[in-house]
Amino acid sequence: MKICIVIANYYPKISQDLLKGATKILIQSNIKNFNKITTQGVFEIPVIVAKNMKKYDAFIALACVIKGKTPHFRFISSAAIDALMKLSIINKKPIGNGIITCLNKKQASIRSSANRKNKGEEAAKAVLSVLGILKNDSK
């Protein structure tokens, strides 16, 4: 089983917290064969996944998009998430969605915090569940 974590590093602290959450779940589930690919922003994640589709059994996409003063936030988020869903369906491989969309940095910090529901953990659990490695009711 080979899993690839694709992580956008636009907000480094938030990205690292999401990564810690995802890797924690993989390690707890005894998954040792995973790699990380870093990209600058969320918009590039689907391209990285598409380029590496044949090399991995599953992917975990991690990123943060914070709303600014323009509609750019909505377009980027929708495009990236829609592209990942299409890639997952077409290739019949799970892609965990750990792309958080937030209204501000405080909200992003909460959603990536180890003390709360970390979206990186949730994305890793979703992938492992689809692969049959983690039961749906596992916490």
pLDDT tens-digit map of 75-92: 999 999 999 999 999 999
Q: Tell me: the pLDDT tens digits for 21-65?
A: 999 999 999 999 999 999 999 999 999 999 999 999 999 999 999
Residue 138 lies in a domain: no
The catalytic residue positions are: 72
Report the C-alpha gap between 18 and 62 in whole angstroms. 7
- Confidence category of residue 94, pLDDT binned at 50, 70, 90: very high
Residue 107 lies in a domain: yes
Residue 139 lies in a domain: no
- Confidence category of residue 136, pLDDT binned at 50, 70, 90: low
Parent domain of 102: 3-130
Residue 54 lies in a domain: yes
Residue 98 lies in a domain: yes
Mean pLDDT score, 1-8: 97
Residue 7 lies in a domain: yes
Residue 135 lies in a domain: no
Number of structural domains in the chain = 1
Asked if residue 101 lies in contact with residue 77, where contact means CB atoms within 8 angstroms, the answer is yes
Q: What CATH number has the domain bearing residue 101?
A: 3.40.50.960
Mean pLDDT for all residues in the chain: 93
**pTM (two decimals):** 0.93
Residue 136 lies in a domain: no
